[in-house]
Amino acid sequence: MGTIDSVANGFEAAKQHLRQPINHVLPPSVLLYLVPPLPSIRTLLVLLSLSLLVVLRIWCILPGRNPHPTVPRSSANKDGCTVGVFLGSGGHTTELLQLVSALPTSRYPRRIYLVSSGDKFSLNKARQLERKLTGDERVRAIQIPRARNVHQSFLTAPLTTAYSMAFCIYTVALLPLVRPQDAKRVLADVILMNGPGTCVPIVAAVYLLRILGLPSPKLMYIESFARVTSLSLTAKLVRPLVDRFVLQWPRQPPRESSANTVYSGWLI
């Protein structure tokens, strides 16, 4: 019985010891090792300089700074253009596939579909379109992790967005660069998008190529037909970055006008 009491007393003493503030348990010299050192002034200046250079580079390559860019002639004019089609599921998919079905296959013979992971609806719709256009329902599709799932907490959204962006950088930007010499070094000649938020990592991946001065796809965002008086959040985010921003409903200038924005009227 005495042994059990001594063990119990030992546990109780240990609990009381652990409840004490850490500065009462550990000496100050040990606590200093637990605190991460602050970066040096030189390191901070280097990081600040690099950040300013990246921001300046992005500002210089924004499409709005060159309202009338010259389009270089390339081999795409000879064998047709490859179109990247981001299908955002639901109404986004239905609208964009209607637009893609109207493209002349002689000029745009190849299509690469970018779909959110688990979006079987968009894959099936893409197969139906390919069967209609080519007679073959096989599609070239890339499944992208969702930047944010439906009803996902905003606290965990940055983690899924970072994963989606890393995947897009690897798939959209880096993989095409290691293709054989006789193949195109871009995923597609142009990427069509109409939302939702998963297209933001795609835009970020393309801009990584542009910051480095490497070949990159053109970006076109078509705002949803359902957006009559206001823009979606995704549209507001990507509008300054895309090469062409298409509105299907008129807006009042100058509030809604910019160099890369066009009003096309109804497209669907």
Q: Is residue 248 part of a domain?
A: yes
What number of other Cβ atoms are within 10 A of residue 68's Cβ?
A: 5
pLDDT (tens digit, 0 to 9) for every residue of the chain, 268 residues total? Answer: 556 667 667 667 666 655 666 555 556 655 556 666 777 888 889 899 999 999 999 998 888 776 555 544 454 556 789 999 999 888 889 999 999 999 998 899 999 999 988 889 999 999 999 999 988 888 999 999 987 777 778 788 888 888 999 999 999 999 988 877 657 788 999 999 997 888 899 999 999 999 999 999 999 999 888 887 888 888 899 999 999 999 887 765 545 556 688 887 777 6
In sequence order, what E strands does 12-109 have?
82-87
Range of the domain at 219: 82-263
Token digits for 189? Answer: 């000649």
CA distance readout (Å), 248 to 200, 261, 264: 21, 11, 6
Assign residue 213 the CATH number of its domain: 3.40.50.2000
- Total number of domains in the chain: 1
Is residue 230 within 8 Å of 255, Cβ to Cβ?
A: no
Q: Is residue 109 part of a domain?
A: yes
Q: Is residue 138 part of a domain?
A: yes
Is residue 63 within 8 Å of 242, Cβ to Cβ?
A: yes
Q: Is residue 68 part of a domain?
A: no
- What SS3 state is found at 246? strand
Fill in the amino acid letter for 99.
L
**What secondary structure letter does DSSP report for 148?**
S
Rounded to whole angstroms, how far apart are CA atoms 189 and 80? 9
What number of other Cβ atoms are within 10 A of residue 81's Cβ?
A: 18
Rounded to whole angstroms, how far apart are CA atoms 240 and 147? 20
Whether pTM exceeds 0.85: no
